[in-house]
Protein backbone atom coordinates (compact mmCIF):
# COMPACT_ATOMS: atom_id res chain seq x y z
CA UNK A 1 0.00 0.00 0.00
CA UNK A 2 1.45 3.39 -0.95
CA UNK A 3 0.27 4.68 2.34
CA UNK A 4 1.56 5.72 5.74
CA UNK A 5 -0.57 4.28 8.52
CA UNK A 6 0.53 4.33 12.15
CA UNK A 7 0.02 1.54 14.71
CA UNK A 8 -3.27 3.12 15.81
CA UNK A 9 -4.76 3.11 12.31
CA UNK A 10 -4.26 6.81 11.70
CA UNK A 11 -3.39 7.69 8.12
CA UNK A 12 -0.57 10.21 7.86
CA UNK A 13 -1.22 12.68 5.04
CA UNK A 14 0.12 15.95 6.37
CA UNK A 15 3.73 17.11 6.81
CA UNK A 16 4.81 20.20 8.71
CA UNK A 17 8.18 21.35 7.56
CA UNK A 18 10.10 23.67 9.86
CA UNK A 19 12.49 25.39 7.45
CA UNK A 20 14.47 27.17 10.18
CA UNK A 21 14.35 27.32 13.97
CA UNK A 22 15.35 31.00 13.85
CA UNK A 23 12.95 33.89 14.14
CA UNK A 24 12.92 37.68 14.12
CA UNK A 25 10.40 37.65 17.01
CA UNK A 26 10.76 36.28 20.53
CA UNK A 27 7.27 35.21 21.58
CA UNK A 28 7.81 34.46 25.25
CA UNK A 29 5.83 31.20 25.05
CA UNK A 30 7.90 29.87 22.14
CA UNK A 31 11.61 30.78 22.41
CA UNK A 32 13.11 31.05 25.91
CA UNK A 33 14.67 34.36 26.90
CA UNK A 34 18.35 34.54 25.92
CA UNK A 35 18.13 31.28 23.91
CA UNK A 36 21.19 30.98 21.67
CA UNK A 37 21.23 27.33 20.74
CA UNK A 38 19.88 27.74 17.20
CA UNK A 39 20.97 25.15 14.66
CA UNK A 40 23.66 26.31 12.18
CA UNK A 41 22.39 26.64 8.58
CA UNK A 42 25.21 24.28 7.50
CA UNK A 43 23.40 21.51 9.36
CA UNK A 44 20.11 22.01 7.51
CA UNK A 45 18.94 19.76 4.73
CA UNK A 46 19.80 21.14 1.32
CA UNK A 47 17.01 22.13 -1.05
CA UNK A 48 17.65 18.95 -3.06
CA UNK A 49 17.36 16.80 0.06
CA UNK A 50 14.23 18.58 1.23
CA UNK A 51 12.62 18.21 -2.18
CA UNK A 52 13.53 14.52 -2.33
CA UNK A 53 12.07 13.80 1.10
CA UNK A 54 8.86 15.69 0.39
CA UNK A 55 8.52 13.86 -2.93
CA UNK A 56 8.92 10.51 -1.16
CA UNK A 57 6.35 11.50 1.45
CA UNK A 58 4.00 12.54 -1.34
CA UNK A 59 4.46 9.19 -3.08
CA UNK A 60 3.38 7.61 0.21
CA UNK A 61 0.17 9.63 0.32
CA UNK A 62 1.13 12.92 1.97
CA UNK A 63 -0.68 15.58 -0.06
CA UNK A 64 -0.55 18.51 2.36
CA UNK A 65 2.59 20.39 3.37
CA UNK A 66 2.80 23.41 5.64
CA UNK A 67 6.01 25.43 5.83
CA UNK A 68 6.67 26.75 9.28
CA UNK A 69 9.54 27.45 11.64
CA UNK A 70 10.84 29.54 13.40
CA UNK A 71 9.91 32.20 10.97
CA UNK A 72 9.98 30.73 7.46
CA UNK A 73 10.31 34.15 5.82
CA UNK A 74 13.77 34.68 7.37
CA UNK A 75 15.05 31.86 5.18
CA UNK A 76 16.58 33.38 2.03
CA UNK A 77 15.89 30.50 -0.33
CA UNK A 78 12.24 30.09 0.70
CA UNK A 79 10.72 31.20 -2.66
CA UNK A 80 12.86 28.64 -4.47
CA UNK A 81 11.90 25.94 -1.97
CA UNK A 82 8.22 26.77 -2.39
CA UNK A 83 8.55 26.71 -6.18
CA UNK A 84 10.15 23.27 -6.07
CA UNK A 85 7.79 21.73 -3.53
CA UNK A 86 4.74 23.27 -5.19
CA UNK A 87 5.76 21.65 -8.49
CA UNK A 88 5.72 18.12 -7.04
CA UNK A 89 2.71 16.36 -8.59
CA UNK A 90 1.50 14.77 -5.33
CA UNK A 91 1.43 17.98 -3.30
CA UNK A 92 -2.10 19.35 -3.52
CA UNK A 93 -1.92 21.86 -0.72
CA UNK A 94 1.12 23.98 0.14
CA UNK A 95 0.61 26.48 2.92
CA UNK A 96 2.67 28.67 5.22
CA UNK A 97 2.59 29.75 8.87
CA UNK A 98 4.20 33.12 9.49
CA UNK A 99 4.41 35.97 11.96
CA UNK A 100 3.88 38.28 8.92
CA UNK A 101 6.68 40.67 9.91
CA UNK A 102 8.20 40.28 6.44
CA UNK A 103 5.04 39.45 4.54
CA UNK A 104 4.70 42.90 2.95
CA UNK A 105 7.83 42.21 0.84
CA UNK A 106 7.02 38.55 0.19
CA UNK A 107 3.26 38.12 -0.27
CA UNK A 108 3.28 38.46 -4.08
CA UNK A 109 6.32 36.20 -4.46
CA UNK A 110 4.72 33.54 -2.27
CA UNK A 111 1.55 33.60 -4.34
CA UNK A 112 3.54 33.28 -7.57
CA UNK A 113 5.68 30.49 -6.12
CA UNK A 114 2.61 28.40 -5.31
CA UNK A 115 1.38 29.19 -1.79
CA UNK A 116 -2.37 29.74 -1.58
CA UNK A 117 -3.25 29.72 2.09
CA UNK A 118 -1.46 31.29 5.01
CA UNK A 119 -1.80 31.28 8.78
CA UNK A 120 -0.64 34.38 10.60
CA UNK A 121 0.09 34.59 14.32
CA UNK A 122 -1.51 37.66 15.83
CA UNK A 123 -1.97 37.71 19.59
CA UNK A 124 -2.86 41.37 20.09
CA UNK A 125 -4.03 44.47 18.25
CA UNK A 126 -2.49 46.73 20.87
CA UNK A 127 1.09 47.65 19.88
CA UNK A 128 2.34 47.63 23.49
CA UNK A 129 0.77 44.28 24.37
CA UNK A 130 1.90 42.87 21.03
CA UNK A 131 5.46 43.96 21.76
CA UNK A 132 5.33 42.58 25.29
CA UNK A 133 4.35 39.15 23.97
CA UNK A 134 6.50 38.98 20.82
CA UNK A 135 9.18 41.71 21.05
CA UNK A 136 7.98 42.52 17.53
CA UNK A 137 6.43 45.48 15.71
CA UNK A 138 2.65 45.29 15.20
CA UNK A 139 2.65 47.85 12.35
CA UNK A 140 4.81 45.57 10.21
CA UNK A 141 2.48 42.63 10.83
CA UNK A 142 -0.62 44.62 9.87
CA UNK A 143 1.19 45.86 6.76
CA UNK A 144 2.05 42.24 5.93
CA UNK A 145 -1.54 41.11 6.43
CA UNK A 146 -2.85 43.81 4.12
CA UNK A 147 -0.28 42.84 1.47
CA UNK A 148 -1.39 39.21 1.75
CA UNK A 149 -5.00 40.26 1.23
CA UNK A 150 -3.96 42.34 -1.76
CA UNK A 151 -2.02 39.38 -3.22
CA UNK A 152 -5.21 37.30 -2.92
CA UNK A 153 -3.77 34.72 -0.55
CA UNK A 154 -6.82 33.05 0.93
CA UNK A 155 -8.11 32.01 3.30
CA UNK A 156 -5.96 34.04 5.70
CA UNK A 157 -6.26 32.48 9.14
CA UNK A 158 -5.33 34.49 12.19
CA UNK A 159 -3.94 32.40 15.06
CA UNK A 160 -4.30 33.96 18.49
CA UNK A 161 -2.82 32.25 21.54
CA UNK A 162 -5.22 33.34 24.28
CA UNK A 163 -3.57 34.16 27.61
CA UNK A 164 -5.27 35.11 30.85
CA UNK A 165 -4.55 38.67 31.93
CA UNK A 166 -2.44 39.36 28.85
CA UNK A 167 -4.67 39.44 25.80
CA UNK A 168 -7.98 37.83 26.83
CA UNK A 169 -9.59 41.28 26.96
CA UNK A 170 -9.02 41.57 23.19
CA UNK A 171 -11.16 38.66 22.03
CA UNK A 172 -14.01 40.79 20.69
CA UNK A 173 -11.57 43.30 19.13
CA UNK A 174 -10.03 40.40 17.27
CA UNK A 175 -13.46 39.12 16.16
CA UNK A 176 -14.35 42.58 14.81
CA UNK A 177 -10.94 42.90 13.08
CA UNK A 178 -11.43 39.55 11.34
CA UNK A 179 -15.01 40.41 10.37
CA UNK A 180 -13.78 43.66 8.82
CA UNK A 181 -11.00 42.03 6.81
CA UNK A 182 -12.63 38.72 5.95
CA UNK A 183 -10.02 36.72 7.88
CA UNK A 184 -10.71 33.41 9.63
CA UNK A 185 -9.96 33.53 13.36
CA UNK A 186 -8.57 30.69 15.47
CA UNK A 187 -7.97 30.70 19.16
CA UNK A 188 -5.23 28.43 20.56
CA UNK A 189 -4.52 27.18 24.07
CA UNK A 190 -0.96 27.55 25.40
CA UNK A 191 1.00 24.31 25.36
CA UNK A 192 3.93 23.35 27.62
CA UNK A 193 6.38 22.80 24.78
CA UNK A 194 9.98 23.65 25.79
CA UNK A 195 10.98 25.83 28.72
CA UNK A 196 9.16 28.87 27.29
CA UNK A 197 5.94 26.94 26.75
CA UNK A 198 6.06 25.69 30.33
CA UNK A 199 6.36 29.29 31.62
CA UNK A 200 3.31 30.19 29.53
CA UNK A 201 1.09 27.68 31.32
CA UNK A 202 0.66 30.32 34.07
CA UNK A 203 -1.50 32.18 31.52
CA UNK A 204 -3.50 29.15 30.39
CA UNK A 205 -7.21 29.60 29.68
CA UNK A 206 -9.60 26.76 28.81
CA UNK A 207 -11.05 27.89 25.47
CA UNK A 208 -14.49 26.68 26.53
CA UNK A 209 -14.58 29.86 28.66
CA UNK A 210 -13.83 31.97 25.59
CA UNK A 211 -16.47 30.12 23.59
CA UNK A 212 -19.11 30.60 26.29
CA UNK A 213 -18.31 34.29 26.44
CA UNK A 214 -18.57 34.63 22.65
CA UNK A 215 -21.93 32.79 22.66
CA UNK A 216 -23.26 35.52 24.92
CA UNK A 217 -22.04 38.29 22.61
CA UNK A 218 -22.65 36.84 19.13
CA UNK A 219 -25.17 34.60 17.44
CA UNK A 220 -22.99 31.58 16.64
CA UNK A 221 -23.82 28.50 14.57
CA UNK A 222 -21.73 25.34 14.01
CA UNK A 223 -19.55 25.59 10.89
CA UNK A 224 -17.30 23.44 8.80
CA UNK A 225 -14.01 24.57 7.40
CA UNK A 226 -12.38 22.55 4.60
CA UNK A 227 -9.13 21.08 5.94
CA UNK A 228 -10.07 22.20 9.44
CA UNK A 229 -7.61 19.84 11.13
CA UNK A 230 -7.93 19.87 14.89
CA UNK A 231 -9.94 23.11 15.13
CA UNK A 232 -13.65 23.02 15.94
CA UNK A 233 -15.44 25.83 14.11
CA UNK A 234 -18.42 28.13 14.56
CA UNK A 235 -19.70 30.90 12.30
CA UNK A 236 -21.06 34.25 13.34
CA UNK A 237 -24.58 33.94 11.89
CA UNK A 238 -25.24 36.13 8.86
CA UNK A 239 -21.51 36.75 8.24
CA UNK A 240 -18.62 34.93 6.56
CA UNK A 241 -16.58 34.89 9.74
CA UNK A 242 -15.56 31.47 10.97
CA UNK A 243 -13.98 31.09 14.37
CA UNK A 244 -11.96 28.00 15.30
CA UNK A 245 -10.98 26.68 18.71
CA UNK A 246 -7.77 24.66 18.98
CA UNK A 247 -7.80 22.89 22.34
CA UNK A 248 -4.79 20.58 22.66
CA UNK A 249 -4.96 20.85 26.44
CA UNK A 250 -8.63 20.92 27.45
CA UNK A 251 -9.88 18.51 24.73
CA UNK A 252 -7.04 16.78 22.97
CA UNK A 253 -7.57 15.58 19.39
CA UNK A 254 -4.84 12.93 19.18
CA UNK A 255 -7.26 10.25 17.94
CA UNK A 256 -7.52 12.01 14.59
CA UNK A 257 -3.89 13.12 14.29
CA UNK A 258 -2.79 12.86 10.66
CA UNK A 259 0.57 14.65 10.76
CA UNK A 260 4.27 14.43 11.41
CA UNK A 261 6.88 17.19 11.63
CA UNK A 262 10.25 17.54 9.95
CA UNK A 263 12.89 19.92 11.34
CA UNK A 264 15.28 21.98 9.21
CA UNK A 265 18.03 19.50 10.13
CA UNK A 266 16.00 16.55 8.89
CA UNK A 267 14.75 15.14 12.19
CA UNK A 268 11.30 13.63 11.86
CA UNK A 269 9.25 14.26 15.02
CA UNK A 270 6.34 11.88 15.35
CA UNK A 271 4.32 13.87 17.90
CA UNK A 272 4.39 17.51 19.00
CA UNK A 273 4.09 16.40 22.61
CA UNK A 274 6.67 13.59 22.68
CA UNK A 275 10.37 13.15 22.00
CA UNK A 276 9.98 10.19 19.60
CA UNK A 277 11.96 10.99 16.48
CA UNK A 278 13.95 9.58 13.60
CA UNK A 279 17.04 11.23 12.09
CA UNK A 280 16.52 11.27 8.33
CA UNK A 281 19.57 13.31 7.32
CA UNK A 282 22.08 10.47 7.84
CA UNK A 283 19.79 8.14 5.89
CA UNK A 284 19.54 10.64 3.03
CA UNK A 285 23.33 10.90 2.95
CA UNK A 286 23.99 7.17 3.25
CA UNK A 287 23.30 6.45 -0.40
CA UNK A 288 19.93 4.79 0.17
CA UNK A 289 17.74 4.58 -2.91
CA UNK A 290 14.15 5.86 -2.98
CA UNK A 291 12.59 2.50 -2.08
CA UNK A 292 14.87 2.08 0.93
CA UNK A 293 14.09 5.59 2.10
CA UNK A 294 10.37 5.01 1.70
CA UNK A 295 10.67 1.92 3.85
CA UNK A 296 12.52 4.02 6.45
CA UNK A 297 9.60 6.48 6.41
CA UNK A 298 7.07 3.66 6.87
CA UNK A 299 9.14 2.31 9.77
CA UNK A 300 9.31 5.79 11.30
CA UNK A 301 5.54 6.19 11.17
CA UNK A 302 5.32 2.82 12.92
CA UNK A 303 6.83 4.59 15.93
CA UNK A 304 4.22 7.34 16.19
CA UNK A 305 3.02 7.59 19.81
CA UNK A 306 -0.66 7.30 20.67
CA UNK A 307 -1.04 10.76 22.14
CA UNK A 308 0.66 13.68 23.82
CA UNK A 309 0.93 13.75 27.60
CA UNK A 310 1.11 17.50 28.15
CA UNK A 311 -0.95 17.22 31.32
CA UNK A 312 0.46 14.07 32.93
CA UNK A 313 4.09 14.29 31.67
CA UNK A 314 4.78 17.99 30.95
CA UNK A 315 8.52 17.33 31.31
CA UNK A 316 8.45 15.23 28.10
CA UNK A 317 8.95 17.97 25.55
CA UNK A 318 12.23 19.69 26.14
CA UNK A 319 12.75 21.05 22.62
CA UNK A 320 11.48 24.53 21.87
CA UNK A 321 8.45 25.12 19.65
CA UNK A 322 10.37 26.83 16.83
CA UNK A 323 12.21 23.55 16.08
CA UNK A 324 8.96 21.86 15.03
CA UNK A 325 6.79 24.86 14.21
CA UNK A 326 3.65 24.12 16.19
**69 binding ligand SF4? (CB under 6 A):** yes
Binders of ligand SAM among residues 172 to 201 (CB under 6 A) are 188, 190-191, 193, 197, 200
Q: Is 177 exposed, middle or buried (0-12, 13-18, 19+ CB in 10 A)?
A: middle
**Which strands, in side-by-side order, build the sheet including 14-18?**
220-223, 232-236, 242-246, 184-188, 156-161, 117-121, 93-98, 64-68, 14-18, 259-262, 267-269, 277-279
Phi, psi of 220 (to 5 degrees): -105, 145
**121 binding ligand SF4? (CB under 6 A):** yes
In angstroms, give the least distance from the CB of 48 to ligand SF4: 25
| 268 contact, one of ligand SF4, ligand SAM, none, CB 5-8 Å limit per kind | none
**248 binding ligand SF4? (CB under 6 A):** no
**27 binding ligand SF4? (CB under 6 A):** yes
**244 binding ligand SAM? (CB under 6 A):** no
Pairing of strands 232-236, 242-246: antiparallel
Using CA atoms of 237, 97, 201, 22 in order, give the dihedral in degrees to the nearest 10: -160
Q: Is 153 exposed, middle or buried (0-12, 13-18, 19+ CB in 10 A)?
A: buried
Binders of ligand SAM among residues 114 to 173 (CB under 6 A) are 121, 159, 161
**23 binding ligand SF4? (CB under 6 A):** yes
Q: Choose one: 35-43, 67-75, 147-155, 278-286; the region binding ligand SF4 (CB under 6 A).
A: 67-75
Binders of ligand SAM among residues 265 to 304 (CB under 6 A) are none
Q: Choose one: 56-64, 69-77, 180-188, 264-272; the region binding ligand SF4 (CB under 6 A).
A: 69-77
Task: For 177-199, give the DSSP string.
Answer: HHHHHT-EEEEE-----HHHHHH
- Spatial separation of the C-alpha atoms in residues 307 and 210, rounded to whole Å: 25
Instruction: Kindly state the number of chain residues that form the binding site for ligand SF4, as judged by CB under 6 A.
Output: 14
Identity of the residue, 26 or 303, whose beta carbon is nearer to ligand SAM in the bound complex? 26
In angstroms, give the least distance from the CB of 9 to ligand SF4: 32
Question: Rule CB under 6 A: which residues touch ligand SF4?
Answer: 23, 25-27, 30-31, 69-71, 99, 121, 134, 321-322
Amino acid sequence: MPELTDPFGRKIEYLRLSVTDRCDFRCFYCIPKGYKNFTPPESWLTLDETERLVRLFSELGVAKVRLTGGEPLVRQDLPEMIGRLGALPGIEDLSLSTNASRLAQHAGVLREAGVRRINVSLDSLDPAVFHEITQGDLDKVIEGLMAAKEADLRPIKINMVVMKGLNDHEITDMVEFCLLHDFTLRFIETMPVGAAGKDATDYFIDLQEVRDDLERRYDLEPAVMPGAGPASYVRVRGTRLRIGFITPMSQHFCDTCNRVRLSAEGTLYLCLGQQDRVELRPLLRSGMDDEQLKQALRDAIGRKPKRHEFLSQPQNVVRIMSITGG
